[in-house]
Structure 1
Amino acid sequence: MRSMRSAPLASASATEAVEAVRPEAADLLYCLAAAFLPPPAELTGRAWCHALAVDLDELGAELELDAAAAVRALRQMAATPAADEPWLVEFSRLFLVPPVAVTLNTGIYLEGGLGGASAQMMTQCYAAAGFAPREDFHDLPDHVAIQLEFVAVLLERAAGGDADAEAMAAEFVDGFVRHWVEPLRLACERAADRNRAASVYASLAAFTRAALDALV
């Protein structure tokens, strides 16, 4: 997934270098964002889990983050017979097929509904930063993946010399992401007895929270 991550969606402004932000931090957030998007239809669970486990293991080591629990969950899933199925099937069962077991639209966790003030505020943050979702992204602005990609873009700008981007990333994470990432993890845990993929995503949510605490 690291090699498949999205290109930056907006250019960085030329300001003094921000030495505290490493490019690998952006790479990690791109990987985590991609993990919460529907995978290619032909990709098996084994291939998806293996690729993400390799990326998280590598990036965790580079950033001195403990990715062991997330990597272990991915490798355990990859070793099951169910991993021969397309991962999109498991993803859809958990996140897409009604009644949806776990939602990736975070307005539910923040406000108890969709299209509320939080989604509008996120849209304003994206616009202020000159960020726009890719044309193939068809979901609400409060989707987990688009928020993590936005943070990745800001960290990439900061690593490239944009002194304001790091502060913007911290403000966005503090204002939104830290408020929904634990409810997302808990929702995945509650769904684990009915959905094989839920424990994997619970581990990914927990690692996302820990990574943001360390990096932003």
Structure 2
Amino acid sequence: MTQDPSRVVLREDAYRLLAACFYPPSQELFEERCLPALADLLEDLAPDAARHARDAAHAGEQASLESLAVEHAHLFIGPFHLVAPPYGSMYLDNAKTVMGESTGKVSAFYGSCGLHLADDFHEMPDHIAVELEFLSYLAHRQRESVAAGDLGEANRFAGLQLSFLNRFLLPWLPPFTRSILEGTESPFYRAIAQCTATYVAGDRDYLERSSGVSPDTANPHTS
């Protein structure tokens, strides 16, 4: 795989900033101009996703933090009905429950990559934000390997990203996105959903084009 250090940095930051958008909205998200930053870095990676990020930034400026928090709870928390469950197991497992069989497989994948969730971390391993943060972590490890001149290890981490996308995130991202688009009129969350879906699908295509590592063999312990 051809390793472009600048692109790896942009990919790492893109996944990190997208993850932040699926946690309960905070003042810091807007004070630190995370969404304009996301739009700027996506201009080179995925122009269509960048357009959605700019739409989200504009919508966030027009909405109150309270209204965004209410809509976030409506979509992702409940309490009575989850409009757009942010957990992979709700889409991948026949039981359609949290902490399903696929959740355990996600946790095992994390562990095989040397990452374990802290005991005081209370979110599910297959929450959309956690999976996006994990991809940022893998891109970070890829960047470190490139900086150290270890291209073999950098290729391995690129392969792990491709494997995780194909096995765990992309199988449920389209129905999750549809649930958001069908379940809210919020311009902010509609744009975030479209930005995420567009970027992640495009990033998978980029990894498939440029990676010399098969996603089926990148992590043999997760089959």
TM-score of the alignment, normalized to the shorter chain, above 0.5: yes
Identity across the alignment (%): 24
2:201 aligned partner? 210
Q: Any idea what SS the aligned residue of 1:66 has? A: helix
Match of 1:88 in 2: 69
The one-letter amino acid paired with 1:204 is C
| Aligned equivalents of 1:155, 1:92: Cα separation in 2 | 30
Pick from 25, 38, 55 the counterpart of residue 39 of structure 1.
25
1:2-25 CA-to-partner distances (Å, cap 9, x unmatched) read xxxxxxxxxxxxxxx972462111
Comparing 94-103 and 22-31, the one that deviates more? 94-103
Give the structure 1 partner of residue 14 of structure 2: 28
Deviation, 1:196, is 5.8
The one-letter code sitting in structure 2 at the alignment partner of 1:94 is: L
Give CA deviations for 1:80-106 in whole Å, capped at 9, x if unaligned.
4x4353633332222113222111111
Q: Does 1:180 align with 2:172?
A: yes
Q: Distance in 1 between matches of 2:70 and 2:175?
A: 23
Shift of 1:64: 5.1
| Residue 37 of structure 2 corresponds to residue 51 of structure 1 | no
1:169 is displaced (CA, Å) by 1.2
Q: Who is 1:118 aligned against?
A: 102
Displacement of 1:116 after TM fit?
2.0
SS state of the match for residue 85, structure 2?
coil
Q: Which of the pair is proportionally richer in helix?
A: 2
CA separation of 1:36 and 1:150: change in aligned 2, threshold 3 A: same
105 and 23 in structure 1: CA distance in 2 versus 1, 3 angstrom threshold:
same
Structure-1 separation of matches of 2:28 and 2:39: 20
Aligned partners of 2:46 and 2:199 also within 8 Å: no
The correspondence for 1:142, drawn from 117, 121, 126, is 126
One-letter identity of the residue aligned with 2:85: T
Task: Report if aligned partners of 1:33, 1:149 keep a CA contact under 8 Å in 2.
Answer: yes
Retained in 1: the 8 A contact 2:49–2:195?
no
Q: Secondary structure at the match of 2:170?
A: helix
TM-score after normalising by structure 2: 0.74
Letter aligned with residue 163 of structure 2 = E
In 2: Cα distance, 1:173 partner to 1:182 partner: 12
Flag structure 2 segments of 5+ consecutive residues without an equivalent. 146-152, 208-223
Number of matched pairs: 194
**Aligned in 2, Cα 1:18/1:124: closer, same or farther, shift over 3 Å?**
farther
| Aligned CA distance change for structure 1 residues 202 and 61 (closer, same or farther; 3 Å) | closer
Q: CA deviation at 1:214?
A: 4.3
The residue aligned with 1:5 is none
Change over 3 Å in CA distance of 1:103–1:206 after alignment to 2: same
Which 10-residue stretch deviates more, 110-119 or 128-137? Answer: 128-137
Q: Would you say the 8 A contact 2:39–2:54 is kept in 1?
A: no
1:3 — aligned with what? none
Of the structure 1 ranges 119-128 and 31-40, higher mean CA displacement relative to structure 2 is found in: 31-40
- Give the match for residue 112 of structure 2: 128
> 1:122: how far off?
0.6
Shift of 1:165: 1.1
The answer (yes or no) to whether the contact 2:36–2:57 under 8 Å persists in 1 is: no
Give 1:150-161 correspondences, 5 Å limit. Answer: 150-161=134-145
